[in-house]
Structure 1
C-alpha cells in the first residue's frame, strides 16, 4: 500500500512511519508548514510545526530511507484554524484549535491531497485505533494506553476519512516504549519533549495575542443576579471557569472566590459567580459529525446512553444523548449529564463514546446548569 506519513518532527510520528515501513508499505514522509508567523521560526518556540520540527522530520526520514517533502499549508491553516480561532472568541466561545487543525488540515486537506496524488492512506503518530465492524465499516476507538489516548482529538474524523487512516501506535502500551523503540532505531528524536501550547501563539500569551486582533472595549462584570461588580478591559479575553485576573473590587459575601460563568460578547458583559454554579448538567452541541456510521438510535433521533468527554485528557462522564432537529433544519446534539461537569465553556468540543468507541462529536454551543437561571441577568 502507498502510504503518506505525516511527520510532525516528534518521536511519535517518526516511530509510526518506521512501523509503516517495516510493515512493507511504500512510505513517503511529509511535513506540513502551517505558519509563516515569525514566532514559529524562532529557536525554542514552544508549539509544534516549527522550522526545528521540519529539520527533525527530515532527519527521521533520512534515517528510515524514505522520501521527504514539505508541503506549505500555511494559507489554509490561517483561514481554517487561526481565523476560526479569532472568530470563535469574538462569538464568546473558547475554541480548541488542535481539534480544528485535525479536522480541516491534518486530515481533510492532507488526505484530500494524498488521495489526489495516488496514495492509499495517511499514517500519523496519534494514539488511537480503527476497528472494522462485522460489515467492514470503520470505527474509531481508544488506544491501548488510555493515558496517551488521543481519540478525543480525532473525534472530528468521518467514516470516509477513517477508511484511509493508519495509526501504527494504536496498541502500544506506553510512550516510554515508543521512546525506547526510537532510541533502538537510532532516531534522533527519541528523547525530544512533547510539544505544548498553541502552535501559532508560541509565547503562550493567548490574552495578549487576542488583544492585538480583536477590538477590546471596556464593559461590565456582574454577578449571577445581574448586580454590577466591576469593569473589564474586553470580554473576549475571558473564558468560562476563569478565576484569576478578574480584578473585582467588591469581595463576595461569603469571602470565597468568584469564577467566570458566562461571557456575552454582544453585550460586552462578563458574568461571575461562585464555583458551585460552574457545574453544568446539559450540553447542546452544533456542527455534529460522526466517526463512522452513527448508531441506529442517534440516526433515528432516539435518546441513547453514552459517555461525554470535553477535554483531551479529561475524564468522560455518563450521559444520555439525543439529536434534535431545529426549525431551520439544523441538528443539535443534546447531552444530559448523569453527574454535573464543572467549568465547561461554549466552543469546546464534546466527544461522545460508547465503551472505547468514539461515536462522534459536536461543538458546544451552550452549557446549562439547573442551579442557575441565566435569564436573571438582563
Structure 2
C-alpha cells in the first residue's frame, strides 16, 4: 500500500513510520504545519509543531530513506480546532481539542488529501489497535492501558478506520523508546508533548481571557446567595474546586465545586460535592467506527481521555444517544465526549449536550 505516515517529530510517530516501512508499504513521511507562527524550539514538553519538531521528523525520514513533506494545514487547524475551542468555552461548554484535531485534521483534512493524491491510508503513532472483526475493521484499546488513546480516536467513522493504521497499539511505551534507540533515532529520549498543543505555556485561563476578554460576574451557591466574583465564566468548568476565590465560606466548612456555568447570564454556580453526581448523559454528533447499536444495549462509557470506564445502558436515537450510568460520577460537563466500549472495542462516541440524574 501507499501510506502517508504522519510524523510529528516525536518518538511514537518515528517508530510508526519505521514499522510501516518494515511491513513492506510504500511510505511517505508528512509533517503537519499547524501554526502560522511556529516557534523555533519547544517549551519543555509543552506545545508542538515547532521548527525543531519539523526538523526532528525530517531527520527520521532521512534515516529511513523515505520522502518527506511538510503540509500546511494552519488555516484549517485554526478554524476547526482553535476557533472551535474558543467558541465552545464562550458557550459554557468544555471541549476536548484532541478529539477535534483527530476528527477534523488528522482523519479528515489529512486523510482526504492523502486519498486525493492516490495514497491508500494514513498511519499515526496513536496507541490503539485495529482488529479484523465480523463486520470489518474494529477499533480496540491499546495493550498499554497507561498510554491507550482509543478515547481520542472514538470520533472516527467506519470509512476513516478502513484507511487507517495504528502500528504501536500492541507495544508499551518503554519498548517503543527502546526500539527507537536501537534504530538510532535521535528522538528516542525526546519528552512526550502534553496538555493543549496550541497553549504552550499551559495557562488555559489566561489564553482564553486574552481572546474572550475579562467579564466580571457572580459566583452563586445552591441557595442563590452570591459567594464570590469571577472575571469570566468561560474560565470555569463543572467539577472545578481550586481557584474559585470564594469570599463567603459555608457554615459547615464543606468544600464547594462548580456545578454549572451559565454563559447567558455570565454566572458560575457552585455547590457541595453531592450535587456533582450525575448518572444520565445525553449526547449528539454521534460517530460510529462500526455498526450503530440498535435499541438499548449494555456498554462501557468513558468520559475522559484516561478516565474510568462506567457500566451503562445506552440507547441510540438517530444522531443522539442517551447513556444511563449504573452509578453516579462527578465532573461531567457539556462539550466533553463520551466514548462507548464493548470490552476493548470502541463502539462509538458522542459530544455531551446535557447531564442529569435519573429518577429511577
- 1:351-362 equivalences under 5 Å are 351-362=339-350
> Which of 289, 306, 311 does residue 299 from structure 2 map onto?
306
2:153 match: secondary structure: coil
In 1, are the aligned partners of 2:43 and 2:201 still within 8 Å (CA)? no
CA–CA separation in structure 2 for the residues paired with 1:141 and 1:283: 23
- 1:95-114 equivalences under 5 Å are 95-114=95-114
In 1, are the aligned partners of 2:42 and 2:48 still within 8 Å (CA)? no
How much has 1:44 moved relative to structure 2? Answer: 2.1
> Which of 253, 263, 266 does residue 264 from structure 2 map onto?
266
How much has 1:254 moved relative to structure 2? Answer: 1.4
CA–CA separation in structure 2 for the residues paired with 1:283 and 1:256: 27
1:375 maps to none
Query: How far does the alpha carbon of each residue in 1:239-295 deviate from its partner, in whole angstroms, 9 at most, with x for none?
Result: 111112211111012102211000000011110011222221111111111112223
CA–CA separation in structure 2 for the residues paired with 1:224 and 1:216: 25
In 1, are the aligned partners of 2:299 and 2:311 still within 8 Å (CA)? yes
In 2, are the aligned partners of 1:111 and 1:122 still within 8 Å (CA)? yes
> Which of 311, 314, 321 does residue 321 from structure 1 map onto?
314
Unaligned runs of 5+ in 1: 326-330, 372-378
Q: Structure 1's 364 and 37: CA in aligned 2 closer, same or farther, altered over 3 A?
A: farther
In 1, are the aligned partners of 2:130 and 2:139 still within 8 Å (CA)? yes
CA–CA separation in structure 1 for the residues paired with 2:8 and 2:262: 37
1:328 maps to none
1:181 aligned onto 2:179? yes
What is the number of equivalent residue pairs in this alignment?
A: 358
2:108 match: secondary structure: helix
How much has 1:215 moved relative to structure 2? Answer: 3.6
CA–CA separation in structure 2 for the residues paired with 1:234 and 1:120: 46
> Which of 203, 223, 248 does residue 225 from structure 1 map onto?
223
CA–CA separation in structure 2 for the residues paired with 1:231 and 1:147: 38
> Which of 263, 267, 284 does residue 286 from structure 1 map onto?
284
How much has 1:132 moved relative to structure 2? Answer: 2.1
> Which of 329, 337, 340 does residue 325 from structure 2 map onto?
337
In 2, are the aligned partners of 1:160 and 1:292 still within 8 Å (CA)? no
How much has 1:43 moved relative to structure 2? Answer: 4.2
Question: TM-score with structure 1 length normalisation?
Answer: 0.92
How much has 1:344 moved relative to structure 2? Answer: 1.1
Greater displacement, 158-167 / 207-216: 207-216
2:147 maps to 148
CA–CA separation in structure 1 for the residues paired with 2:134 and 2:297: 21
In 1, are the aligned partners of 2:92 and 2:263 still within 8 Å (CA)? yes
CA–CA separation in structure 1 for the residues paired with 2:258 and 2:358: 17
2:232 maps to 234
CA–CA separation in structure 2 for the residues paired with 1:170 and 1:116: 27
After superposition, the CA RMSD in angstroms is: 1.4
Unaligned runs of 5+ in 2: none
Greater displacement, 41-50 / 138-147: 41-50
1:245 aligned onto 2:243? yes
Greater displacement, 209-218 / 160-169: 209-218
